[in-house]
Chains A and B, each alone.
Chain A
Amino acid sequence: MKEKTYIDDVDRNLYDFRYEEKDSDFYKVDKGLTPEIVRQISKEKNDPEWMLDLRLKSLEVYNKLPVPDWGPSLDGLDLDNIVTYVKPKTALTAKWSEVPNEIKETFEKLGIPQAERESLAGVGAQYDSEVVYHNMREEVSNLGVVYTDLESALHGEYADLIKEKFMKLLPPEDHKFMALHGAVWSGGSFVYVPKGVKVEIPLQSYFRLNAPGAGQFEHTLIIVEEGADLHFIEGCSAPKYNIANLHAGCVELYVGKNARLRYSTIENWSKNMYNLNSKRALVEDGGKMEWVSGSFGSHTGYLYPMTILKGDNSKCEFTGITFAGKGQNLDTGLKIVHSGKNTTSAVNTKSISKSGGIGTMRSSVVVNPGAEGAESTVDCATLMLDDYSRSDTIPVMDIRTQSADVGHEAKIGRISDDAIFYLMSRGISEEDARAMIVSGFADNVSKELPLEYAIEMNNLIRLEMVGSIG
């Protein structure tokens, strides 16, 4: 009789550590969402007046919009019990030594300062609702690159530019949780890469949500000017609590003419997290947007980075993997809109479902009228590791231009017995053979990441695959 391989859930000890914190270490607003709380957050952050107006308008929109009825259930998310703003009692610093010990140790365990020393041009670290550390190498700064927390930038040289771009790509009306974000956003990064500047090594922001029952609503705004080049990496984690946490961040990316932006994410939120993050990029003539996305954590995820290929000859590449394990319902995917002439998009996604996890790959490719010569290829592959998990593929193609060329392929299946047999006949155990095949299945993402992050991602997969045969 054929034996089944049992594959364990991920060992999350690396991310689940936490220090016992006292309420006196933090400033918090009350649970729930009211105009008073929104005003309180705005005052605490010393918002300009237009920002307070946007927050209050967003709250109105939030109260009008319905909860999405097409995705995973959000019944476990009670916004009346979410604390939308938690501020550690520390000031933003560019010196690692000035970060409070507990926070510093948290990030050190996650390897953030080490990564900065070895392989990053700059690092931002957010703890709960506030950025606590931001630093960038001097030589990158000398090129005119700006990488700072968004609140500081709102009062600096780029204040007008931020006002022009902030929540214009992703307006509060986009969906309920974008409206929530508009009302209570806090933290995040502002990156500006001037015309023609190529940042050779990546910048990274790391988001840590430590407070139980809290929400994190950071806003990332990146502007890559004409001919410039940037790789930005985003990492996220949180310890697990018994009550729901919420992440509703917003990422707005502007890619100038002939510029290139690569945005990489390794998401490993804890499994009590509702990750309702939104990301959108606008690409001008000849620009290129590259997404590399690994989704491993969260209890429930809604994540569909969107790319608008506005400019002629603009391009988008999307490479992603989603690993849905026990208790997880991860609804991930992408949206691409072709508007300019001769635009191209290439999508390669992998999805793995195991231990009762639900993985959904949801996508849309829209070719607007006038987007002559648009080309798009979408390739989705899904691996089912048992028969009590679920995996759905829900793509939509909406094509309105005769000269478009759109191709879509998707496959679903299991690990081939022949492949297992082949590896076992060469002395590899069945467990190792399966782990090897799953790692190979995910290599579309790992080979796109910088080496250190590819190793981290492969370690995550390896941990997922540790198990017993029986």
Chain B
Amino acid sequence: MEIFKELKVNPLPVPTWHWLKVNDADIKVLDEGVISANESVIRSDKLRTGTSFAEDEYRSLESGMGREFSEYGYKVSANTVSLSSDDPKQPEEAIINLSYEGGRSYFNSYRIEAKDNCELTVIMRYNKACDSDPSSEFKAGTDTRVFVGKNAKVTLVQVEEAENAEIYNNIASYIEDGGSFEVIQLVLCGKKMYNGIATDLMGKKSRHTINTGYVGLPDSKLDFNYVARHNGVECTTDMNINGVLHKKSEKCLRATVDFITGARGAKGAEKEDVLLLDDNVINKTVPLILCTEEDVEGEHGATIGKLSDEVLFYLNTRGIDKDLAYKLLASGRILTVARMIENEEIRNDLISKIDAE
């Protein structure tokens, strides 16, 4: 008999009214019998790999999906794949293809590190196995811990392409002086997706960017929790989230910029554009700014709903009717994010897939 466990994930750093149902999300996960997904890692020989992970290091970071999920991940994860770049002269890239089959629960853990002055790009793709029944469901969790050294750079690209999946994507990161952590996320499929990123900008002039494009397909549920904690002097965060919601899809985005005392000169911005394509969608946007430092600049902006009359008029004058205009601009939002991927082969593959749909 399968034993399930209920968890509260993606907690809002500061709670608000309960009736809005945005303070966290509830998930039900398999407590035993969780296996590692079949993964292939494509990388150069110079990139260091391993499987070790220190418990105290793991627990020292607060993750986006929260403490309960981190504890769960630590318990069910069989091992941790470690990728470390330590040659300042050689930017490294690793591609991790995660392949799932229906009817199972999976969990994989990663430790990604760019040591001082090094550069590392990791691309993770979530896919169903070719021979798996497309209609069969599965649950897949990943936990990724990212460490960015002084003047180093980590780029993490995650592409969710698996149908009928319930994905849990938990990320925690730590950035030192001058370091940069860039995240590109594309959510193209999935029945349910819970996605949390928490970043500690500890170093002076550390930088963090998140660019996300998502498509809420009919009956899907997407739940995001992005938290950027500004500790270092003159550190900066820039979050840009673009999405499209179709029939009966539901999305909740929590995006928090937290300025902590001492983060003088820090800047944080968060922006979300959501295009609603049907009346039965549910869009929740919760953009927080928390502040205990005087010398900062923080801002958030959100635009939600239909296309503006000006845009529609402009496209109409060029022979594009309303339906086509919505289609073009919906795919445009996702393509904008896909084009940020530097790996040409993967970028073109994704662009052609998005264009086709």
Contact = CB atoms under 8 A, between A and B. Distances in A.
Contacts of A402: 276-279, 281, 305-306
B298 interface: yes
B164 interface: no
Interface stretch (A141-149, A191-199, A285-293, A411-419): A411-419
Contact of A396 (B16, B295, B298, B305): B16
B300 A387 contact: no
A444 interface: no
B68 interface: no
Interface in A392-447: 392-414
Contact of B296 (A389, A400, A401, A412): A412
A406 B275 CA distance: 11
Interface in B284-333: 284-306, 308
A387 B295 contact: yes
Interface residues of A, number: 38
A364 interface: yes
A369 interface: yes
Nearest to B301: A409
Interface size classification for chain B: 35 or more
Contacts of A413: 296-298
Given A69-B15, A399-B304, A390 B292 contact: yes
Nearest to B262: A387
A410 B280 contact: no
Contacts of B304: 397, 399, 404-407
A382 interface: yes
A407 B279 CA distance: 18
B282 to A, nearest CB: 5
B14 interface: yes
A81 B229 CA distance: 41
A385 B281 contact: no
Interface string B252-290: 000000010100000000000010111111111111111
Given A398-B283, A399-B304, A387 B298 contact: no
Contact of A390 (B288, B291, B300, B303): B291
A386 interface: yes
Contacts of B123: none
Contacts of A410: 287, 289, 298-301
B291 A405 contact: no
Contacts of A411: 297-299
Nearest to A373: B306
A385 B295 CA distance: 9
Contacts of A389: 292, 294
Interface of A: 69-70, 362, 364, 369-370, 382, 384-414
Interface of B: 14-18, 20, 22-23, 259, 261, 274, 276-306, 308
What are the 7 tightest A-B residue pairs by CB atom distance, in nearest-first order? A404-B305, A412-B298, A387-B294, A70-B15, A406-B304, A408-B302, A384-B294
